[in-house]
Structure 1
Amino acid sequence: MSTEPDRTELEAELRAFKRAVDHAASSIFLTTVDGTIEYVNQAFEVETGYSSAEAVGSQPSILDSGEQNDAFFAELWRTILDGDVWSGRLVNQRKNGTQYVIDQTVVPVTNGADEVERFVAVTSDVAGNGEHGATPDESEQLFRAVFERAFDAMLISDDDGEYVDANPAACELFGVSREALLGCTPFDFAAPEYDVEAAWQSFLQSDRDRGLFPLRRADGMDLIVEFAATASIRPGRHLSILRDVTALHEARQQQERQRRKLRVLNRVLRHDIRNDANVIIGYAELLDDGVVDRVEAAAAITTRANDLVRLSEQARGIEARSGEETAGRRIDIASRLRAFVDQYGSEHPEADIRYEGPETAPITAVGLVDSVFDNLLENAIEHSDRPEPVVRVRVEEHLDAPSGTVTVEIEDDGPGIPSADLEIIESGDETPLKHAHGLGLWLVSWIVSESGGSVEFEQAAPRGTLVRVTLPRRHTLSTDTATVENGWG
């Protein structure tokens, strides 16, 4: 929580910063996202001949000399609207009609939601005659002020990719001090699957790049960051701007998984309900015509009606669970499994159910993970065709993996899961010609996927089913061009 001294100190800092900008030798102006000028400093007035009153409310196109074409400004706008820094040289025209050459840098300013709110343009007169241009020291001071106070992480690299400068936001993002960060490269923080060398070489050749980068912090936390990089802001120096979009990335993945789940659920329900209903209607018609044994028809109708009831209960269970906790949390899966083995052993004394594994086995999974093993054990016992079903629950920890994993195997000696159903579950798709009867196994697949894990189904030897569920010990992540006229505006 902010305190009064904190606010006073911040206000004093902002006043000092504004005084520095007001009196900076470099020409500086701020615009809205559509290019309307909101502020100009004194150097802008001297350099351009336009007073603050004349410039504010206008577009930067008041400085257009006609020397740059529409494509030039379209590229400038595309770059800054994408959130990238634009740097380049152009010819401007003063109020009195004289032209002059400037080096200009345009920096997007984002809000707390990472949306571009306005732009800051800093220019220096290439002529450097002392009347309008900034000295190198003054330009550097202004750059440092922007660099140090930026909310986004900003890094400067050399030609080999080594970080030679980093702002406080970068240190916070990477989870290290500035001293520890300098001298490192993207290789030191990239997830193993990311080809840093290819990405770096492509960037150096294209001069500009943007995209997503799977960042592994110094503390081992995995993030997805969005980056925008500009090459050669100075000779041999390259600027990268990064922001954490992990939450946004996960939300988009969650939405896609939800759409896929609903699509498959709809098809499975339609198919299974239609099949069972057709059988019931068929037997009812045969009964009406008197061409089928009443006992046989009643048994078939009862079986199919019970299938519909079970299907309805499974769908209702999925709907209820969809509102439960979906954030990853630490769970001792070994103790949970031993409790399930005791429960089902008590409910089914005829079954031989045993747990084999460590006393404790921590995992990170969604709160729904209990439903996975509840469903698998229920299937193994209640769908068995043996008078004394045999079920083995085995747990093994794998600490050599990057994040560490725990594997749970549930093996039974029952009739096995139909191969057609296994093919559909493992492929993650469903078509009108292929369906998985019942929703329990779909629920297993979805929850394990939500937890960042995997599930495999195999035929056990000599008979039965082996289900292998692998879950992480620590959660890992599943990683317009504007229409313009001449000039800025």
Structure 2
Amino acid sequence: MASLRVLYVDEESALEPVRRYLEEETEAAEFDVQTVTRPEHALPALEEVDCLLCGAPLPDSKRGEGDAPTLAFLERVRERDSSVPTVVFAGEEAGVTVTAAFEAGVTDYVRKPETEPRRTAVGNDRQRTDQDVGVNSASSTTGSDSRPTAATNTVEALPATSQQYELLAHRLVAGVQPHGERDSSQPTAEAAIDHVADAVFITDIDGTIEYANAAFERITGYDVDDAVGKNPRILKSGEQDQTYYERLWDAILDGEVWEEEVVNERQSGERYYAHQTISPIVNDGAVEKFVAVQRDVTDRQRLEAEIERSAETLSQLHDSAFGLDQPIESKLERLLETVTESLDLPIGYVTRIDDGTQEVIAAVGEHETIETGATDPLERTYCRRTIDADEPVVVTDAEADPEWGADAAFDRFGLSCYIGARVLVDDEVFGTVCFADSEPRQPHVGRVQQSTVKALAQWVGRELERRRYEQDLELQSAAMEASMDGIAILDGDEYVYMNQAHADVFGYDVDDLIGTTWHQLYDTEEIERFEHEVFPQLVDDGEWRGETVAQKCDGGSVQQEVTLSLLDGDKLICTTRDISERKARERELELARTQLRQVIDLVPDLIFAKNRDGEYVLANETVATVYGRPVDEIVGRTDAEVLPSEADVASLSADDEAVGESMEATHVSDVELTAADGSTRVLETTKIPFEVAGTGEIAVLWYSRDITEVKTQRDRLDLLNQVVRHDVRNDLQVVHGRAQLLADRLEREGLSDVAVHVSEVLEAAEEAIELTKTARDLTETMLERTDGPEQIPLEPLLSSEADSVSSRYGDARIDLERPVPDVTVIADEMLESVVENLLVNAIVHNDSSRPRVAVSAAVDDDREWVELRIADDGPGIPDDRKEDVFGKDEKGLESPGTGLGLYLVRTLIDQYGGEVWIEDRDRRVQGEDAAPEGSLVVVRLRIAADG
């Protein structure tokens, strides 16, 4: 491989690409490239190089100077060393022509790659400047009159940058090696042309093809051997008329270069676009041959057509974007129709993706599964990939694509060709814009088409954002108009907007206040308050909230709750609410609260409330008197802070937490409290749980009555009662014992007539003893019992009392029906007295020699009540006396007793919240005259919640 030292002078931006290609990429020779940017620096280095490569225009050449600077430099090169081969590397704006360059002594002339493709319409006027004649003359370098060859006299119109640099490399090698001394290891010019990507062919003066390179066969489809000897008219497509060809021949026969884009036809009949340059080969002023170079620009033409079509499409999209009066659905369909026509794809649709589901919100074209309103699981759609891609997703032949052929989307929709782009609304994925066809798409979808779809997706996103914004504005506007609060916007001091509610506050119409200032709605005092207090705070905080008094149009005033908020610029939002009625209610409530407080303070009993933390939230004056401190020193403090001892604290806090948890009132009979004067007070208390208004906290209200004196009197009476009962009972026991001895003796002596009288004495004594017990129970019930009800198991109580009474009355029989319901009832320990009195009453008031009593119990269906039924076989009680027997002074039928037993029963059952009544043992049929057989006492008791 030959080694060449090249000195390259050119603009700085052109040096590095050429140097890198020559030194690193080409295999034409082993190049060593030295670069300079100033021509004067190149002259001293000519002796050290094999070849000079001169860029044109030269650096620092000024527009309008033409070829003068370059030619002057070339003249200086020839004067300094005429043996150095010189190659001109001419750019698009090179001022030096081919002819002038050869006259200046250059070895060769090569064009630089075009920075932008030139587009010349078919039939454009020929470019007849000498600059565009791509001819070099061998006589210019060798002095010979020999005919130029295709290898040394070729028009340069090269395609790509690398190919142009490769041609330059071969020209440099050819320029350095004289004719006849070429290195046989180096490729010939013909071989180099065979590697050029453009089709190159040479014809004689009559147009017969004498030579064609390999690219000719690839581009046209004609075999080179078949093409040689034929006329280039084999490539005619019919797009150019006869006039065109006449102009072409006139130009090239005159020695001019013909350059344009034409529509040719391949051997297959397929048409293609070619950028064609035809250059005459001139020898001694006579045209001898023609060199034609064709570059296949079909892809570029297609791209340009796509760009033009895309521009038209985007223009139509732009026009549609301003159709603001159209519903979004109609606008989307119109846009889809525009783009489907532009892309030549029959199906277009827009989707919304939400919660794993694709919904089609607009669609054009015929497809059974793609229509407006259709939904599909996202995992079965093309769009599942589209929404994750920044760029459009393109499928041209799904069936042939291994990635899509077995995809669920292809199975569902059968779309072979698909292009889709995601739609973002407020930077969040909304859905997609998609275009498709059931048939494959050839050629592939281009970047311009993808850009069109992406642009449409962006427009759809912006349109949806705009519509969402408009809807939000409409909602806000509607909300402002519908708001019961007054809303106004001020620019400076002037109203620029207000809703009717704002105007109503002042009694005006909206039109009366728009354009006026706020000052007319407030008196001087309020205006000064706004200007000196409110506005400075508004500037510092951006917002102000408070109450004001404004003037109404009728001269009255209105109390307002006002909120001011700063906006951009000098604007602010004013929100007002008429609080006149609220203020009036607050005054009324405050008056009612004051009056209620007076009433509470007048109550002689202690009334106070404590929250869960034990802090007093309420206390009346009676509490203050007992505690020995004012109310304001009690409220907010705990028992430990206001009571004198730990015992008092424990007494007043017992069960508070349980009452608050259960939310059920509790009665406490005796609560002892040490008063401020040192005395001990006994309080009968009811604790009531409640929810504190406005806070939701649970508190316990204490209502405590001072029963200290009452308890003292009750204790004295109880003591007296015990003493009397004890003494009377003892005396009666003596009477009963003596009478029993007397009765026994009379019975032994046979004085039965006298013994009858003694028996009556015994019975009277027994009843008197029983009466003392009943009196005791009644006393406890009336005077001593203050504790609340308890939960009493029913079965053991009935069993115990039945056994106890049976043992006392041996002649009687008591039958307890089993099993007894396993329930607990709301009562207390005195329930034993109830059952005992009813059993005894059923026996002693029975006229049978062997009284029989049946006891049973039954639970209702709702398990809320249990009925205790005690039946006897005595004489029964007439209907007109069934209610009266429970009276305090009533006795049983022909009974010598006092009637206190049944009165005690009624009293206790009432305290338990139950009922008691009497029925006939066997209910009589309507109209039957027979007397009932015995009585039935029914006691109804409530079952405990957990019983």
TM-score after normalising by structure 2: 0.21
TM-score after normalising by structure 1: 0.38
Largest Rg, 1 or 2: 2
Structure with higher RCO (Cα < 8 A, 6+ apart): 1
